[in-house]
Amino acid sequence: MSLNTSRGRPRVAAFAAITSLALSLTACSSAPGGSGDETASDGSLTMWIWPGGLSDTVVETVTADTPGLETSVIGDDFKQKLLTGFTANADIPDITGVKGEDMPFFLQDPELFTDLNTLDIDDIVGEFPEWKLAEATTPDGALLGLPIDIGPAGLFYREDVLADAGMPTDPAEVGAATATYEDYFAFGEELQKAVPDAHLEVSAGGLFGKVMGQSETKFVSPDGEFLGESDAVRNAWDLSIEAWDRGLVAGIGDGSPDWASAVNAGLLPTLSGAAWYAGDIKSNAADTSGKWRVTQMPGGPANIGGSFLTIPAATEDKEAALEVIKALLSPENEAVMYTETGNFPARTTAFEEPGLHDGDDFFGGQDTVEVFVEASENMPTVYNSPLDNQVAAPYYTELTNVELGKDPEKAWADAVAAAKEALESA
């Protein structure tokens, strides 16, 4: 079996070498699942996931109903562990998670995985957002994974801080007042009249990433074209610089001690992020419970994160593996995962589960789920290149440099030059 190299986009050389070896070994094995060491052939099934990738309660429930299912929780570099298995053609799980940020990497060589379209998924595939399924679909239509979760973003805010400042506090009113980035920035400047040390955004780079998440293009096209000077990238850069110049960016590390201190003190009274970001706020600012609300993101919906369950091609009993995936991603279990881990359900029928809309005490009893449901229904479909991260990295570096005093136009020019070099050297 040969690698598919006709996809019209740059390849990652190291991965090509690894998977060439893995596939040649698979082709030489004595059975569909390899020599017998790679996957289970005795009725048992193995599954790999990273910490927090699935709810412990859900895994325990499905395991109880699936004799022989063994789950390994893999810490550290999950992708590298999976690659090691593919390279050695041994210890390959029957079912494995693939993180959203790693899926573009694996889409380069879909032969490593089962095309789920060849299995019985017609009863459930329509219940997942098309834009998320697209992230796990090859150019020729092979579907490599079903989504575990998605990361629709919203604008979290302190209701008490806004009330004290005489600002709108109702989620619908705040959403209307911050609908565009110009609205949002003006809202922040008005807030600073009452709370001079308050900031809207944690860092310029953080804002840049969220604006890029709202775009229909990123840094590399499907044909491998450099998009780092596109209108979308320049717009995200300019908005980030404008927010910094207007004094609306704190210039600290997200999740850092300074971040936690500012959140608790009400000096970061707005925080934009994915649904799972609520867990970070809760764990770092427990004493602010009841004071938070959430509304739609300024500028439109964005997705941050969300992962998949896949079936490696070496898996012998693919139908049994699919049944486990269906059970893990049942509407009931998707709802449990959200309440237990904060992973927002990818399966839309989970939104109808009893209790999911009861309201969150941390958010003053607000039904936060409906905010993220609305965002997920309006999400753009985006092509994610396996090279996006390395091409994007210079922009984040240079935005940090701007926060340290570098001229923004010089920083932009240096970011573009370094990004081009990163793509050319890939």
pLDDT in tens, 230-250: 999 999 999 999 999 999 999
DSSP 257-293: HHHHHHHHHTSS-EEEEETTHHHHHHHH-GGGTTSEE
Class of domain 13-150+305-353: alpha beta
Residue 22 has pLDDT above 50, yes or no: no
Return phi, psi of residue 406, to 5°: -70, 145
Domain with CATH 3.40.190.10 in the chain: 13-150+305-353, 153-304+381-424
Segment 267-276 shows an average pLDDT of 96
Residues 147-201 have pLDDT tens digits of 999 999 999 999 999 999 999 999 999 999 999 999 999 999 999 999 999 999 9
Report the residue count for the chain.
Answer: 426
CB 328 within 8 A of CB 309: yes
Torsion angle defined by CA atoms of residues 286, 291, 292 and 298, in that order, rounded to the nearest 10 degrees: -140
Confidence of residue 426 (pLDDT cuts 50, 70, 90): confident
Residues 334-345 have pLDDT tens digits of 999 998 888 999
Type of residue found at 287: D
What is the C-alpha separation between 72 and 50, in angstroms, rounded? Answer: 8
Q: What pLDDT does 282 receive?
A: 94
CB 44 within 8 A of CB 70: yes
* Architecture of the domain spanning 153-304+381-424: 3-Layer(aba) Sandwich (3.40)
Among 25, 147, 145, smallest CA distance to 91 is for 25
Question: Which of 3-7, 301-305, 327-331 ranks highest by mean pLDDT?
Answer: 327-331
Q: Give the percent of the chain with pLDDT over 90.
A: 85
CB 294 within 8 A of CB 278: yes
Bigger pLDDT: 276 vs 29: 276
Q: What pLDDT does 43 receive?
A: 66
Measured CA distances, 221 to 9, 225, 365 (Å): 8, 5, 43
Residues 64-76 have pLDDT tens digits of 999 899 999 998 8
Residue 311 has pLDDT above 70, yes or no: yes
* Class of residue 75 by CB neighbours under 10 A (exposed 0-12, middle 13-18, buried 19+): exposed
- What tokens does 145 get? 């994974």
